[in-house]
Structure 1
Amino acid sequence: MFLKMVKNDFIRNKIVTMTVFVFITMAVILAASAINNIANLIQGMSDFQESAVPADITVMHAGEYDQAEIDQFTEQYRDHIAMQETMVLQNIDGSNIHFGQNQTMAGTIQDISFVVQNKKFDFILDLDNEKLDIKEGFVAVPIYFMEQHDLKIGDTITVKSGGYEKEFVISDYARDFEMNSSLTSSKRFVINQDDYDEMFKMQAGDLEYMIEFKLNEIGASATVQTVYKEAGLPANGPILEGKIFTMFNAISDMVVAIVIIFISFLLIVIASLCIRLTFLATIDEDIREIGVMKAMGISKKDIKKVYLNKYRVISVAAGIIGYLLAFAVVNLLNGNMRLYISSDLSGSLKYIQSLIAPLLVYFMIVMYCKQVLKRIDKISAVEALRSDIMEREKNRKYSFPLLKNKFLSTNIYMGLRDVWKRFKLYRLLFVIFIVCTFIVILPVNIYNTINSPVFSTYMGIGKHDMRIDLRRTDSITEDFIKLQEELKNDNDIDKFAPYITSSYQVKNAEGSWNNINIEIGDFSVFPLKFLEGRAPEGEGEISLSFANATKDGLNKKVGDEVTVRVGGEEQTLTVTGIYQDITNGGKTAKAHTSLGVNDEAVLWYIVGMDLAEGVDIREKMDYYQNAYSTAQVNDIKEYTQQTLGNIIGQMGTVVIGGISIAIIIAVLITALFLRMLLSKDMSQIAIMRSVGLTLKQISHQYMAGTLMVLILGIKIGVLVANFLGEFLVSMAMSSMGAAKIEFVHIIWQTWLLCPLALIIAVGLTIFMSCKVAVKDDLSVVLRS
C-alpha cells in the first residue's frame, strides 16, 4: 500500500519531484567533486613527494662557498641529517633567454637558473613523475614558463649571455616540487652535464648555491637550522623548510576545493528548503487525508513513512547519479593539478572518500525530512477535518485594505499585499534568492580581490605603481646606490622608497633562535594596512607579519619585545604593529633602518615608486629595464598576476560555474514555487476571474509580488556576500598569513551586472509561470 502511495505521489508531483532530485544531484556532484579533488590532491602530493624526494631544509647562498665545511657539519650531526647535497645554480636573466619571434623572458619576477639533475634527492621530474634525464642540446623547461609563454615540446630557446650563446630544444616539462608554484620566486631549467659545464666555463650566469639537507625521521629541523647558523656556514639567502613547498604546491587546488564545498553546502540548504516547501504544500493539500488516516487508527510513524520514503528514494537515486557524474566533473577542476602535481590521478582513495558526499547528503536530507514531518504529530483527526473552517477564520483577522492604496496600480498593490499577508510562505523563496545571490557574488568578489593591485597589501607590499627588484650580482650594492640617485633626479618619478631584506636570527618563545626575513626601509612612503598598531618609525622598532606574531611563530603582541641578533650582537626591538603577508610562508617582519643591514645575509634589494601624473608606465618600465639589465622591473598589477596566476585562473572558472549554478537554481525554484502557489490558490483565482478580472491582471499580481521578493533577496544577498563573505575568506586565509581580507568591490559587477542576470532569468521564469493561471471551466474549479 505504501509503495503504491509513494508511486502515486511521484506521478502527482512530477515537477516538484524532479526539481528536488536535480538539487540533491547537483549538491552530491559538487561535494563529491570537491572531496575527489582533495583525495586526488592528497594522493598526487604523496606520489609527487615520493618521486621527487624534496629537501627538508634548503639554504640559498650567493658568494664564497666551501663544500668541505658542509661535509664536516653533516657528519657532525648525523643523528639529525640523513643526506646532504649542494646544487650549483647558474642564474640567467630573463632578457637573455630568447624564444619564438624575437621574444624574451624579460620582465618575469622569477629568478631563472640552469641546473643539472641532483644525484641523491630533490629530483626534478617529467610529467610522468620520473627523474629527468636530459640529452646534450636539450632542455627541460619549468611548467610555469611553458604555460606563460605557450611553449611546446620541440620548440627552441636560445641563451645569450656575455660571450655565451647556445640554442636548446625543449624536450620535457620540468615538474619541480620545490619551485613548481608561482608563489616561489625561482625556477630551474634542467640541462645536460656537458652543456652545463660549457655554460659554467663561459661564465654565462651568476652562481648561486642550494645547500640542501634531508633529515632522518627523528631529525629536528629547527635544531639543524640553529646549529647551522651558529656554525657560521654559508647562508647568504633565505633558509626554507620543506613544508613550505608542500603548502605552495597544494594551495591553489585547495582554495578551489574549499569554495566548491561551500557552494555544495549551500545547495544542500536550498534542497532542504525546497523539500520543506514541498512538504508544507503537500501536507496542506492532504490534511483531510491525514485526518482520515488518523481516524482510521494508522500510526503517526506509518503516516510519516508515506512522505519520507519518497525522499529516501530520491536521495538514494540522486546520490548514485551524483557520485558517478562527479568523476566526470572533477576533470574540469583538476587540470591544474594534473599538470603541476601528477598526470596519473588513478587510485582507490578517491573512490572511497567520494562516497562521503552522497552518504552525508542522504543522512542530512532524511534527518531534515523527519524534523519537518514532526508537524504531523501536532495534527489531530478532528482539527484536520475542520482545517478549512479554521484557516478561513484565521485569515479574517488580517487586513490590508485596498482603499489605502493611493500610489500603485491595483494589480501591483494586490501582489505586494499578498506577500505581506503570506510572508511565511514567501520567505522560503526569499531565502533561496539570498543564497543564489551569495553563490554568484562571493566568487566574483574573491576573483576581483586577488586580481587587483590592492591585493599586494596582503603580500607585505605597500600599494605603488612600479617596483624594481635588483638581482644578486657583484655590482648589486653599487647598482642600488646608483638607482636611488637616478630616481632622485627623475622628474617622472613622484616618490620612491628603497627597501633591503636580509635574513636575521630572532629569539623565539622557547628561547632558541629562528631565522626570519626582515625588511628595513621607510614604510611611511607606501604604507601597509595594519591589523594592529603601526609601521616602525624610529630606532628600536619592528612590526611583525600576522603569521610571525601568532603562537606558531614568535607569539608576540603589539608592545612586546623581540630580540634580534645582528653582526653577532643582540638588539631588543619593540613590536609596533602587526600586518598581513602571504609570501615566504607568511613569516616576515619590517624594521626601522636603525636595525642595520645584515651584510652577510642580504636577500634582495627593492625600490618601490609612484609615477608623476601623465607618465606612461610602460615606457618608464622599459627605460629602467634597459638601464639595469639584471633588474626585474614590473608594475604592481603584473607582479601580483605573476605571483598568483594559478589561483586567479582557477577562481575565474569557479566564477563562471557559480553564476551558472545560481541561475539554474533560481529558475527551477521560482518555477516550482509559482506552480505550487498557483495550484494552492486555484479557488481564489477562479473567484477573481468570476468577478471579472482577466488572466493578465491576475498574472500581474503574482508577478509583482514575486519580483519584489526577488529584488529584496538580491539586495540582501549582495550585502551578505560582501560582509559575511569577507569574514569567511579571512578565516580561510588566516592560515596563510592574511587574517582580515577586505574585498575589492567592482560596483557595476556586484550591484548591476550579476543582479541583472538573475533578474532577467528569474523574471522570464515568473512571466512564463504566471502566464497560465486557470484555464479550466470556472464552475469545475469552484465546485472543487
Structure 2
Amino acid sequence: MFLKMIKNDFTRNKVITMTVFVFITMAVILAASAINNIANLIQSMSEMKERSNPADITQMHSGEFNQADIDQFTEEQRENVMMQETMVLLTFDGSQIHYGENQTMAGTIQDISFVVQNQQFDFILDLNNEKLVVKEGEVAVPIYFMEQYDLKIGGTITVKQGMYEKEFIIADYARDYEMNSSLTSSKRFVMNPADFEEMRETYEGELEYLIEFKLRESGDANALKTAYIEAGLPANGPLVDGQIFLIFNALSDAAVALVIILISMLLILIAFLSIRLTFLATMDEDLKEIGVMKAIGISKKDIRNVYLNKYRLLSVAAGILGYLLSFPVANLFNEHMKLYISSDLSGNLKFILALIAPLMVYFMIVMYCKKVMKRIDKISAVEALRSNIMEQGRNKKNRFRLLKNKWFSTNIYMGLRDVWIRFKLYRLLFFIFAVCSFIVILPLNVYNTMNSPEFSTYMGIGKSDIRIDLRKSDTITDDFNNLQQELLADSDIEKYAAFITSSYQIKNADGSWDYINIEVGDFTVFPLQYLEGRSPENEGEISLSYANATKEGLNKQVGDEVVVKADGTEKTLKITGIYQDITNGGNTAKADTSLGINASAVLWYIVSMDVTEGVNISEKMSYYQGNYDSAQVNDIQEYSSQTLGNMIDQMKIIVTAGIIIAVIVLILITALFLRMLLSKDMSQIAIMRSIGLTSQEISYQYMAGTLLVLVLGIIFGVMASNYLGEFLVNIGMSSMGATKIELVTVVWQTWLLCPVVLILIVGTTIYLSCKITVKEDLSIILRS
C-alpha cells in the first residue's frame, strides 16, 4: 500500500518532484565536482612534486660568488642538507625576446631567464611531467608565456642582445614547479647546454643564480637558513622557502573548488526550502487522507515514512546521477590544472572522495525531511478531517483593505496584499531569490575587483596611471637617474615617485636574523590603504606587510620596533603602519629613505607616475618603453591582470557558472511555487473569474506579488554579497596577505543589468505558469 501511495504521489506531482530532483542533483554535481577537483589537485600536485623534486630552500643571488664557499657550507650542514645545486640564470628583458611577426614580449612584468636542467633536483618538466630534454637549436617555453602570447610548438622565438642573435624552435612547453604561477615574478626557458654556453659567452647582463638546497627528512629548514645568514654567504636576493611554491601552484584551483563548494551548499539550502515548500503543499492536499490513516490506527512513524521514503528515493537517484555527472562537469574546471600541474588526471582518489558529496547530501536531506515531517505528529485525526493546515495563521487583522487603495491598480494592489497576508508562505520564495542574487553578484564583484585599478593597493602598490620597472642591467643605475630627471622636466607628468627595493637582514622575534625585501622611497605620493597606522614619512620609520606583522612572521604591531641590518650596520626602526600585500608571499616592507639603500643587494627599481589630465596614457607608455630598453612599462590595471592572470581566468568560469545556475534555479523555483500557490487558490481563482475578472487580470495579481518578493530578494542578495560576501572573500585571502579587501561594485551591473535580467526571467516564468492554470474549465473547478 505504501509503495502504491509513493508511486501515486510521484505521478500526481511530476513537476514538483522533478524540480526537487533537479536541485538535489545540481547540489551533488557541484559538491562532487569540487571534491573531485580537490582530489585531482592533491594527487597531481603530489605527482608533480615527486617528478620535479623541487628545492626546499632557494637563495636567489645576483653577482659573482665563490661556489667553493657554498660547497664547504653544505658539508658542514650535512645533518640538514641532502643535496645542493646552483642554477645559473641568463636573464633577458622582454623586448629582447621576439616571436611571430616582429612582436616582442616587452609588455611582460615577468623576469625572463634561460637555463639548463639541474642534475640532481628542481627539474623542469614537460606536459607529461617528464624531465625536459632539449636538443640544440630548440627551447622549451613556460606555459605562462605559451598562454599569454599564443606560442605554438614548432614556432620560433628569437633572442637578441647586443651582438648575440639566435632563433630557437619551440620544441615543448615547460611545467615549472617553482615558477609556474603568475604570482611568481620570474619564468624559466629551458635550453640545450651547448646553446646555453654559446649564449653565456656573449651575455651582457649580470649573472643571476639560484643557490638551492634539498633537505633531509629530518632536516631543520630554519636552522639552515639561520646558519646560511650567519656564514655571510651570497645573498643578493630573496631567500625563498619551498612551501610558498606549493601555495602558489595550488591557489587558483583551490580557490575555484572552495567557491564551487559554497555555491553547492547554497543549492542544498535551496533544496531544503523546496522540500519544505512541496511538503506543505502535499500536506495541504493530503490532509484528509492523513486524517483517515490516523483514524484507522496507522502509526505516526508509518505515515511519516510514506512521505519520507519519497525523498529518500529522490536523494538516492539524484545522488547517483549527480555523482556520475560530476566527472564531466569537473573537467570544465580542470583545464587550468591539466595545463599547469598534470595533463593526466586519471587517478582513483577522486572516485573515492567524490562519494562524500552524494552521501553527505543524502543524510542532510533525510535529516531535514524528518524535522519537517514532525508536523504530521501534531495533527489529530479530527483536525485533519475538518480543517486545512495551510490556513493556520492567516486570520490576521486585515490592514490592507481594498477601499483604502489609492496608489495602485486593483490587481496590483491585490497581489501586494496577498504577500502581506501570506508572508510566511512567501518568505521561502524571498530567501531563494536572495540566494540566487548572491550566487550571481558575489563572483561578479570578485571578478570586477581583481580587474580594478584599485586592486593594486592589495599588492603593496599605490594607485597610479603608469608603473615602470627597471630590472638588473649594467646601466640600471644610470637609467634610473636619467628617468627621474626626464620625468621632472616632462610637463605631461603630474607627479611621480621612485622606489628602490633591496634585500636586508631583519631580526626575528626569536632573535635570529632573516632576509626581508624592503622598498625605500616617498610613500606619501601614491599612498596605500593601511590596515593600521600610516606610511613611513620620517627618519627611522618603517611599515610592514600583514604577513610580516603576524605571529607567524615578526609578531609586531604599530608602535613596536624592529632591527634591520644593511651593509653590516644595525638600525632600529619604528613601525608606523601595517598594509596588505599578496605579492612575494606577502613578505615585504616599506621604509623611509633615511634607511639608505643596501647597494650590494639591490633587487629592482620602480617608478610610479600620474599623467596630467588629457594626456594619452598609452602614447606616454610607448614613449618611455622606447626610450628605456630595459624598462617594463605597464599601466596598473595591466600589471594586476598579469600578476593575477590565472585567478582572473578561473573567476570568469565561476561567474558564468553562477549565472547559469541562478537562472535554472529561478525558473524552477518560480514555476514550483506558482504551481503550489495556484493549486491551493484554485477555488478562489474560480470565484474571481465567475464575478468577471479575466485570466490576464488574475495573472497580474500573482505577478505583482511575486515580483515584489523578487525585488526585495534582489536587494537583500546584493547587500549580502557586499557585506557577507566581502567577509568570506577576506577569510579566503587572509592566507595570501590580504585581510580587508573592499569588493568593487559596478553599479550598472549590480543594480540595473542583473536585476532587470532576473525580473525578465521570473516575470516570463510567472506569466507562463499563470496562463496555463487560470484558464482551466471553470465548471470543473467549481464542482470540485
| CA offsets 1:132-156 (integer angstroms, 9 cap, x no match) | 1110011001011111111110001
CA distance in 1, matches of 2:752, 2:464: 29
The answer to whether the 8 A contact 1:431-1:713 is kept is: yes
Matching of residues 200-279 of structure 1 within 5 Å: 200-203=200-203, 205-279=205-279
Q: Which residue of 2 aligns with 1:621?
A: 621
Q: Residue type of the partner of 2:440? A: V
- What SS does the corresponding residue of 1:772 show, helix, strand or coil? helix
The answer to whether the 8 A contact 1:438-1:717 is kept is: yes
Displacement of 1:475 in angstroms is: 2.5
Matching of residues 103-502 of structure 1 within 5 Å: 103-203=103-203, 205-388=205-388, 391=391, 395=395, 397-502=397-502
Is 1:56 equivalent to 2:56 in the alignment?
A: yes
| CA offsets 1:631-650 (integer angstroms, 9 cap, x no match) | 21111111111111111111
Displacement of 1:227 in angstroms is: 1.4
| CA offsets 1:229-248 (integer angstroms, 9 cap, x no match) | 12111111111111111111
Query: Using a 3 Å threshold, how does the CA distance of structure 1 residues 692 and 75 change in structure 2: closer, same or farther?
Result: same
Query: Using a 3 Å threshold, how does the CA distance of structure 1 residues 635 and 111 change in structure 2: closer, same or farther?
Result: same
Q: Which residue of 1 aligns with 2:668?
A: 668
CA distance in 1, matches of 2:359, 2:237: 50
CA distance in 2, matches of 1:263, 1:775: 38
Query: Using a 3 Å threshold, how does the CA distance of structure 1 residues 347 and 390 change in structure 2: closer, same or farther?
Result: closer
The answer to whether the 8 A contact 1:294-1:381 is kept is: yes
Displacement of 1:217 in angstroms is: 1.2
| CA offsets 1:17-59 (integer angstroms, 9 cap, x no match) | 0000001101111111111011111111100000001111111
Displacement of 1:591 in angstroms is: 1.2
Q: Residue type of the partner of 2:357? A: A
The answer to whether the 8 A contact 1:699-1:771 is kept is: yes
Q: Which residue of 2 aligns with 1:97?
A: 97
- Higher mean alpha-carbon deviation, 218-227 vs 191-200, is at 218-227
Q: Which residue of 1 aligns with 2:697?
A: 697
- What SS does the corresponding residue of 2:740 show, helix, strand or coil? coil
RMSD: 1.4
- What SS does the corresponding residue of 2:180 show, helix, strand or coil? coil
The answer to whether the 8 A contact 2:394-2:421 is kept is: no
Displacement of 1:615 in angstroms is: 1.4
- What SS does the corresponding residue of 2:158 show, helix, strand or coil? strand
CA distance in 1, matches of 2:712, 2:393: 31
Query: Using a 3 Å threshold, how does the CA distance of structure 1 residues 200 and 678 change in structure 2: closer, same or farther?
Result: same
Is 1:514 equivalent to 2:514 in the alignment?
A: yes
Q: Which residue of 2 aligns with 1:14?
A: 14
The answer to whether the 8 A contact 1:90-1:204 is kept is: no
Q: Residue type of the partner of 1:167? A: E
Q: Runs ≥4 in structure 1, deviation > 6 angstroms? A: none
The answer to whether the 8 A contact 1:86-1:209 is kept is: yes
Displacement of 1:598 in angstroms is: 1.7
Displacement of 1:2 in angstroms is: 1.3
The answer to whether the 8 A contact 2:429-2:709 is kept is: yes
Displacement of 1:508 in angstroms is: 1.9
CA distance in 1, matches of 2:471, 2:218: 37
The answer to whether the 8 A contact 1:94-1:107 is kept is: yes
Displacement of 1:683 in angstroms is: 0.9
TM-score (norm 2): 0.98
Q: Which residue of 2 aligns with 1:631?
A: 631
The answer to whether the 8 A contact 1:430-1:710 is kept is: yes
- Higher mean alpha-carbon deviation, 669-678 vs 277-286, is at 277-286
Q: Residue type of the partner of 1:69? A: D
TM-score (norm 1): 0.98
Aligned length: 784
CA distance in 2, matches of 1:475, 1:396: 83
Q: Which residue of 1 aligns with 2:738?
A: 738
CA distance in 2, matches of 1:417, 1:551: 57
CA distance in 2, matches of 1:515, 1:370: 59
The answer to whether the 8 A contact 2:284-2:389 is kept is: no
CA distance in 1, matches of 2:80, 2:156: 44
Runs of 5+ unmatched residues, structure 2: none
Query: Using a 3 Å threshold, how does the CA distance of structure 1 residues 390 and 87 change in structure 2: closer, same or farther?
Result: closer
The answer to whether the 8 A contact 1:316-1:362 is kept is: yes
The answer to whether the 8 A contact 2:89-2:207 is kept is: yes
Query: Using a 3 Å threshold, how does the CA distance of structure 1 residues 162 and 396 change in structure 2: closer, same or farther?
Result: closer
- Higher mean alpha-carbon deviation, 738-747 vs 218-227, is at 218-227
Query: Using a 3 Å threshold, how does the CA distance of structure 1 residues 544 and 717 change in structure 2: closer, same or farther?
Result: same
Q: Residue type of the partner of 1:211? A: I
Displacement of 1:478 in angstroms is: 2.3
- Higher mean alpha-carbon deviation, 753-762 vs 413-422, is at 753-762
Runs of 5+ unmatched residues, structure 1: none
Q: Residue type of the partner of 1:105? A: M
| CA offsets 1:253-294 (integer angstroms, 9 cap, x no match) | 111111111111110010110000001111122122212211
Displacement of 1:680 in angstroms is: 0.4
The answer to whether the 8 A contact 1:699-1:773 is kept is: no
The answer to whether the 8 A contact 1:164-1:204 is kept is: no
The answer to whether the 8 A contact 2:284-2:390 is kept is: no
CA distance in 1, matches of 2:778, 2:666: 32
Displacement of 1:752 in angstroms is: 1.1
CA distance in 2, matches of 1:215, 1:367: 50
